[in-house]
Amino acid sequence: MLQIKNSSRLIMAAILILMMAGVGCKSKKKAMEASNTASLEKVKQEQEAALRKQKEEEERRRALAEEERARRESEAKAREPKARLEQYFGAIANSSNVSSANNSINEALSLFASADTPVLIVISESGGQKDYDRPTTIRDYLNYLKDQKKNFNKIGNLQFDSSGKITELELIKQK
């Protein structure tokens, strides 16, 4: 009988230990599930932040590329009339006959808002101050090139109107 009593205590203790282990496992499971949910939420937030950062970086790159493209276009637009005007100046100064020079003058005048567009010739510059020769018009300057048969001046600055025509020409006298 004593043996049964001792064994029943032992069985009871084993059952009690198993029950406590079962309850402990359930709480561990719940803790693990809560931990997994928190870590999954954290991973999800990190992925969303990385995606937002990537989109922002892509937008920034796109904006920089657009700015660069616009800058290149404006430079090309500014260079194009300048280069064409230099070609006309050379053609007029180096023309072999008056008829050819007059044709080049008429073509060059199409770049300007009017034949009376002012031409300013910088004769010297010091300390940011420019000294100009007597102002003239583009028609007079082109006829001067035709008569002199030499182009002494370099194109400095061009100003345009809204339609892209030249409204003012600044030349720099070469020494």
pLDDT, tens digit, 9 for 90 and up, residues 1-38 = 556 656 677 777 777 676 666 655 555 666 666 666 77
- What's the pLDDT tens digit per position in 79-110? 678 888 888 999 999 998 999 999 999 999 99
Q: Are strands 129-132 and 136-137 parallel, antiparallel or unpaired?
A: unpaired
For the chain, the distance separating the N- and C-terminal CA atoms, rounded to the nearest angstrom, is 131
In the chain, alpha helices (H): 2-93, 98-109, 138-148
Lowest mean pLDDT segment, chosen from 28-37, 94-103, 139-148, 166-175: 28-37
Please indicate, yes or no, if residue 106 is contained in any of the structural domains: yes
Please indicate, yes or no, if residue 165 is contained in any of the structural domains: yes
Domain with 105, as residue range(s), is 68-173
Please indicate, yes or no, if residue 55 is contained in any of the structural domains: no
Please indicate, yes or no, if residue 113 is contained in any of the structural domains: yes
Cα(116)–Cα(119) distance, integer angstroms: 9
Cα(72)–Cα(77) distance, integer angstroms: 8
- Structural domain count, the chain: 1
Please indicate, yes or no, if residue 144 is contained in any of the structural domains: yes
Please indicate, yes or no, if residue 159 is contained in any of the structural domains: yes
Please indicate, yes or no, if residue 59 is contained in any of the structural domains: no
pTM for this entry:
0.55
